Amino acid sequence: MQCDEIEELLYLHRAGELEPGEHQILTDHLKTCSACREMLAELKQLDTIFDLERSVAPDLGRDLDSDILSAIYAAVQESDTGSMSKLIPHWLTERALWFALVVFLGILGISFATEQYIAIKKITTLEEKMVDQAVVSLQETSLTGRLAGLYSRYQKRNLEIGTGRGKSILLSKLNSTDVATGAKFLRLSDGVHLVGTERKRGLLSDYSGIKTDAHPYEFVYQFLVQEEQK
Amino acid sequence: MNTTKHSFILAGTIIISMILWNCREITTTTKIYSDGSCERTVKVKSKHKSHSNSYFPIPTDSTWTITNTKTRQDTTFYEFTATREFRDVKDLQRVYTSYADSGLAIEDLEMKKRFGLFYLYFRYQEVYSRYSPYDKVPISDYLTEDEIQIYLSEQDSSDIEDKVDEWRARAMFEELFQAMVSKAETLAIPELTPAMFRTNKDTLFRAIIKNADSTNGVLREASVILKTDAVSALTDTIDYVIKRIDHDLENMMQVSSNEYVNQVIMPGLLLDTNADAVEGNMARWKFSGEAFEFRDKRMWGESRVINWWGIGISGGLLLLLLGFLVIIARARRP
């Protein structure tokens, strides 16, 4: 056989795929052909090198495709959550954020409550001060005198007591100034509450004949003057 | 004002002044906006069409929108109205500073803004400065603060009224007395020494207040008490001082005879004020000009408006925190 035909048998031999007859032919040829023997020696050397590389990276090549796919999958996953996780400092935990949220809401709540408390306190003081200024003129001895003083002060300063609370402060001050006429003040108190709404003023107007468009204090004043005259 | 009781030589002037200048009602309304700008309207109701000599800083220049018409209710009265907008309160202050020589000074206009988390707070203050040309005798020598308050609130108290009259008379006399002493020092006449004046100061006061009604009257009383005719050397000085007192008193009467109303409309909710009355977010002070004779008239109000910026930033921070919470919860999930 020619050497080029023997070369094919050499490769088959290396791969372990020689038929028994072919093995005999190759052995006989190698006994007489030094060139083919050298080729066999070179092939064995190459096999030694490959064997060494396999021992270092045994799966290289064999699992390449699956490795690439795994890497791509991992990268995709990392871009979703893993990289974000790396960006977030370790101390910024979920618990720390809940704590911060609670503290922040607490600060907002306390600030709001404080601002509201101070405002309500100031408004209440202002309301009482306005009422006090109205009561200054009520040092008259008679009820009608006090009411006249109150009404004239109201007219003079265009004072707006307005709220039910303001009226009750006013009445408590009136009550505290003269116990002897408590009964009259009670009527005054009833009167003020009675004329608090237009409907009630209407009812009282039918009884007294006082016009309903009068200011509540003026209404009470006129009503009590009439009552006293009776 | 019971100034006639002791104001020796000036009784006639006072009466004339009262007739000339009484019954001006000056209403000043200042609307403050939440951006700090403001609008002021000055309304004067009086029998005089012109206010150029009113001795209260009433704007009459063209930078104000002015109307001057007879009132509908009473055609014998004129109603003058001047309105102008200002960038801020300091701008308003600058304008009033330019009226400084027109009499009573609007001494201080101030607007302070304070930030709360949910509200913006405004504090406005306006001060009408004290106007008393006779400042050589302090009011505190005669009246306590409480007594001044009682006097100004028009409560009946003859004791306090007597003290006020005494102070006024002493204050006016002091102008005359110091001028006479100063002139005596300059003249250096042996028969008319400053010491003679100082020794007889109280006697001079009583006699001049009671009996003198002119320059000649003052000279007559002084020559009797000091027992010298050399007082005639003081004629020009006494004449000059009396004319000055006369002029100052006339100006003071202008200020005192007016009725003043100052209204300030604050932005948002009115929280506190030293006003006499409150209507919604408007604070109102009503007083006679006599108040200026004793002390500065200090008027202030405090209000608040919602701080939308603060609420927005707080809300943003809250959303940011919640967003972080969601992100971290997802990121740290196994």
Domain ranges of chain A: 3-55, 64-229
Q: What is the mean pLDDT of residues A197-211?
A: 65
d(CA B183, CA A192): 69
Mutate to test the interface with A, among B123, B276, B302, B319 (most CBs of A within 10 A): B276
Contact between chains at B119 and A159 (C-beta distance less than 8 A): no
- Could you say which residues from 66 to 85 on chain A have a Cβ atom under 8 Å away from some Cβ of chain B? 81, 84-85
Is residue B309 within 8 Å of residue B120, measured between CB atoms? Answer: no
Helical (H) or strand (E) element with B306: strand B297-306
Contact between chains at A158 and B279 (C-beta distance less than 8 A): yes
ipTM over 0.85: no
d(CA B114, CA A95): 36
Is residue A217 within 8 Å of residue A194, measured between CB atoms? Answer: no
Is residue B192 within 8 Å of residue B226, measured between CB atoms? Answer: yes
Contact between chains at A94 and B269 (C-beta distance less than 8 A): no
Count H helices, E strands: chain A?
11, 0
CB-closest option in A97, A123, A158 to B321: A97
Nearest to B94 by CA among B80, B108, B115, B78: B108
pLDDT score, position A221 = 64
Q: Tell whether B115 lies on the interface with A, counting CB pairs under 8 A.
A: no
On the question of pLDDT at A61 being above 80, the answer is no
Is residue B234 within 8 Å of residue B219, measured between CB atoms? Answer: yes
d(CA B299, CA B290): 16
Q: How large is the angle between the packed helices A34-56 and A3-15, nearest 10 degrees? A: 30
CB-closest option in B118, B273, B321 to A112: B118
On the question of pLDDT at A8 being above 70, the answer is yes
Contact between chains at A130 and B321 (C-beta distance less than 8 A): no
Contact between chains at A94 and B330 (C-beta distance less than 8 A): no
Q: Distances in Å between the alpha carbon of A93 and those of A89, B329, B331?
A: 8, 9, 10
Q: Sign (positive/negative) of CA torsion A129, A134, A139, A142?
A: negative
With vertex at residue B211, the alpha carbon angle to CA B208 and CA B214, rounded to the nearest 5 degrees, is 75
| Residue B68 pLDDT class (50, 70, 90 cuts) | confident
Q: Tell whether A158 lies on the interface with B, counting CB pairs under 8 A.
A: yes
pLDDT score, position B237 = 92
For residue A155, the chain B residue with the least C-alpha distance is B277
Q: Which of A7-16, A26-35, B176-185, B275-284 has the lowest mean pLDDT?
A: A7-16
| Residue B14 pLDDT class (50, 70, 90 cuts) | very low
Per-residue model confidence as pLDDT tens digits over A63-84: 545 554 465 555 555 555 555 6
d(CA A117, CA A113): 6
Chain B contact set for A94 (CB, 8 A): 325, 328-329, 332
Amino acid at B194: P
